[in-house]
A and B are shown apart, each in its own frame.
Chain A
């Protein structure tokens, strides 16, 4: 429930050992490498290794071969690939390319030809309206004729050429093109052709064999097209057979090349001076011993472990440390942005609040169990962390289903259970306790906002940023204002004891507001460590800006609190939706009723479940995170060979 402590690791050694060191770093699976820029300054002479990766081109060619047959190579055991030199790899890849090229060439030529003929067909269809014998038009002796299409954008430019001796006649158009013909005296044909080419006019070439009208041409081309399509299918079958034969060969070659490529790629993060290299990174504190032991048998390699603060230029990477319950919710935190190294890990907070709020909003014993089981299935099958989240929120949903007495929309199904444990009826009857539910929802919101503000105060006091901790809207001033206003309202309007009296209002409501208004000068007085913006304008601008910001703060307290009403809203909407399903089932024929209930439940789980999930996340991000959290950390990424990644 915190952030994994890191150690700064400096590795120095001889360049001859570099590849071995990088390989071992990869194998350790716990080394996060930093860019070489940090190791260099004007004096030490170290320069980043910026060699061209010798394996990139070969690897890309292997990818390219695989792509031509829509195959994605996989990482496999390549121990029987004995090649080591780049020349050997190049030769081997060339042979591989050659074996596929014959088919590729044929497919490419046929595709091109088919595409041209299909295009000609489309164009001839546009020319059908002309209904003139092409032979007659083309037999004009002094006038050149060009059929084709002009882009709509270019059509607007024709007005520029009003004084030129040609005319364009459009006889069909859509949003992109004007289809037509231009006529030009033979003496000006070359100039007109140039102009139309620059306007991206595409000529419709009427095939030589066409005689008569456009209909004749369409018939001829259709027959030719069918023949070529048959040939294309045969060529595709041929290449598929070849792939089946070479698949294992491609995978092995790819795996070895990718391994060598990725290891070499790490060199970009290494700085070197003559025959010595130097690299910097981070290793989780608990793994430092294991990491050091990897290099024990390399006498020329020195591994130094230091506290991360030693190099202030480097921000340690973030690896969140959470227990089994909170761990899957790291997805939500990562989605927003990781905390800084000395910041606050909010995963547990998210895990608890998200699970709780989802359960309240989507309480149904049966549906909750279904969600939990679906989550379990996703996790087991796909190893997707989202599955684990579903399991947790499904259990929460099932628990609140017990409280609301709802099982797949059957609101009375649990009554015997309640009687068994000595209750007269279900703890909460959703449609009868509407007020309690809505007030409860807002109360949850108030508690969560206060907790968020307290977390913000704690974090910023730790960072000595007094503007945010004490004077901001999510700081102490904001907390005093928010809680005092709420207490006074509840006391006055619920218990009839008016707290809105001068000392209370001045001390606990007006004073915090003034503190928020003057937070920037106050922070300057307190020599805050945080960022204090320099005002550019005069006192007038200061007052205007802060007045509007204060107004926005006040609005945000109200809107943030009211935003939690959605919790209650969804409790009601869920019950409402299930009521609709039950009414539909009752009105359906006897055999159809179970089907209606099943489909209705599936619909509610999928649609409403998704909406509730999104709404919960919205509450987390907007109403809570916005008060205390800044996701400005970067992730801990141990160096490794990733067979699924792309080559950069």
Chain B
């Protein structure tokens, strides 16, 4: 209760910032642009990204650089909101750092598998170097799995991935590594939430996290089913070992589908199927992932609007801007590959 009162300013600030988000009109304008430079110029002139782009020369901007700037903006927003009322003194608020660390480790291993470790430094977000709990430059210098493990030796990630061995082609099972690390991240987050917050706040946050992990599992299952018609046991092996609104048995029931169509039919009978129906959506093969992401954003928007809690506001606003940045990147990709507007539109999570 007292926590709630003392962090009201953070909630108000978060909501005010979210009020400046891109509108459907902005997306429409962006989709009609013909180059990355035009997109950057529009963002600089007409949107809340004007400050972060103020010193950037948009006419010559590189696509990757623009993406990095937008992602950095979101990370800085998180840092700014955390430090606004000294929230960063509470362990929960370190969640985005942990999430990014997991992503960097997975990215380094992916580069290793592709024998492109030298290129990892290019994708490494410079703004994150000073926030990470291990040396990211050393991670970039690692040239084999042993060296990666050495860099993360003193972190909790070490024990989670130390026992992985390469297959006969010398490749590491990245999907499984990512699944284990994500499970760790979400479990640790759930435990931290229970420790740090009163029941109401914890319930609201857990509801968001449960949705997040269920949707990861549903999408993961859908992809495995669609691309390799994997059986239930295989999907379960790769799914996050942590359950939200879909119990273990409900997930098994879903994964046991005979093919993708059956998978979608079974999904319709679950909580998420009913929720999609509530919002007037019929799950389809082409649109399922998008529909599920839209569902998650709807929950997040609702939570941001209705729940008077700083951690909920922070968690949702960072996620909602992640989605916004994903949308902008989709538009940039569309322009890069000269995709028709109607195709790009289908990718947007609005």
A binding-site residues for B, Cβ under 8 Å = 34-38, 40, 42, 48, 52, 56-57, 60, 63-64, 67, 112, 115-116, 119, 122, 151-157, 159-160, 174-177, 198-200, 202, 313, 315, 545, 548-549, 551-552, 555, 646-648
Chain B, Cβ-Cβ closest to A34: B280
CA distance A200 to B66 in the complex (A): 10
Query: Are A56 and B342 in touch, CB under 8 angstroms?
Result: yes
Please count the residue pairs between chain A and chain B whose beta carbons lie under 8 angstroms apart in the complex. 89
With A153-B126, A313-B277, A548-B199 in contact, do A116 and B68 touch (Cβ < 8 Å)? no
B347 at the interface (CB under 8 A from A): no
**Across the interface, which residues of A come within 8 angstroms of B65, CB to CB?**
151, 200
Q: Count contacts on B: residues with CB < 8 A to the other chain.
A: 41
Does B28 belong to the interface (CB within 8 Å)?
yes
Known: A35-B282, A200-B62. A157 touches B198 (CB 8 A): no
B341 at the binding interface (Cβ < 8 Å):
yes
Binds A, one of B53-61, B151-159, B236-244, B329-337: B53-61
Extra A-B contacts (20), CB below 8 Å, given A160-B121, A160-B140, A315-B278: A35-B282, A37-B277, A42-B265, A64-B32, A67-B29, A115-B58, A116-B59, A152-B126, A153-B126, A155-B126, A156-B130, A157-B121, A160-B137, A174-B55, A200-B64, A200-B68, A202-B57, A313-B277, A647-B28, A648-B345
CA distance A119 to B137 in the complex (A): 32
For chain B residues 265-301, which have a beta carbon within 8 Å of chain A? 265, 277-278, 280-282
Q: Is the CB of B60 within 8 A of A202?
A: yes
Chain A residues whose CB sits within 8 angstroms of the CB of B121 once the complex forms: 157, 160, 198
- The CA-CA distance from A153 to B137 in the complex, in Å, is 13
B170: Cβ under 8 A from any A Cβ? no
Question: For residue B114, which residues in chain A have a CB less than 8 angstroms away from its CB?
Answer: none
Per-residue interface assignment for chain B, residues 79 to 123, with 1 indicating a CB less than 8 Å from any chain A CB and 0 otherwise: 000000000000000000000000000000000000000010110
Chain A, Cβ-Cβ closest to B306: A337
* A552→B57 contact, CB < 8 A: no
CB contacts (< 8 Å) of A152 on chain B: these are 126
- Whether B280 and A37, one on each chain, are in contact in the complex, defined by CB atoms closer than 8 angstroms, is yes
- B277 contact set on A, CB distance < 8 A: 35, 37-38, 313
A198/B24 contact (C-beta < 8 A), A122-B57, A548-B198 known: no
State in angstroms the CA–CA spacing of A38 and B282 once bound together.
9
Q: Who on chain A is nearest to B53 by CB?
A: A176
| Minimum CB distance partner of B23 in chain A | A646
Are B59 and A115 closer than 8 Å at their CB atoms?
yes
A177 to B127, CA, bound (A): 13
Give chain B residues whose Cβ lies under 8 Å from the Cβ of A38.
Answer: 277
Chain B interface mostly: helix
Tell me if B141 counts as interface (CB < 8 A to partner A). Answer: yes
CB distance from B346 to the nearest CB of A (A): 11
Closest to A159 in B: B137
Interface of chain B residues 23 through 64 with chain A (CB within 8 A):
24-25, 28-29, 32, 37, 55-60, 62, 64
B-side contacts of A48, CB under 8 Å:
282
**B60-A60 in contact (CB<8A):** no
Q: Which 6 A-B pairs have the closest CB atoms?
A: A153-B126, A35-B280, A200-B65, A115-B59, A37-B282, A198-B122
Minimal beta-carbon separation of B279 from chain A (angstroms): 9
18 contacts between A and B (CB under 8 A): A36-B282, A37-B277, A37-B282, A60-B32, A63-B28, A115-B58, A116-B59, A119-B59, A151-B68, A151-B126, A157-B137, A175-B55, A177-B55, A198-B119, A198-B122, A313-B277, A315-B278, A646-B24
Are A549 and B199 in contact, CB atoms less than 8 angstroms apart? yes
Please give me the residue from chain B that is nearest to A53 by CB atom: B342
Q: What chain B residues lie within 8 Å of A648 (beta carbons)?
A: 24, 345
A548 to nearest B CB, angstroms?
Answer: 7
Question: For the complex, what is the distance from the CA of A132 to the CA of B275, rounded to whole Å?
Answer: 68
CB distance from A240 to the nearest CB of B (A): 20
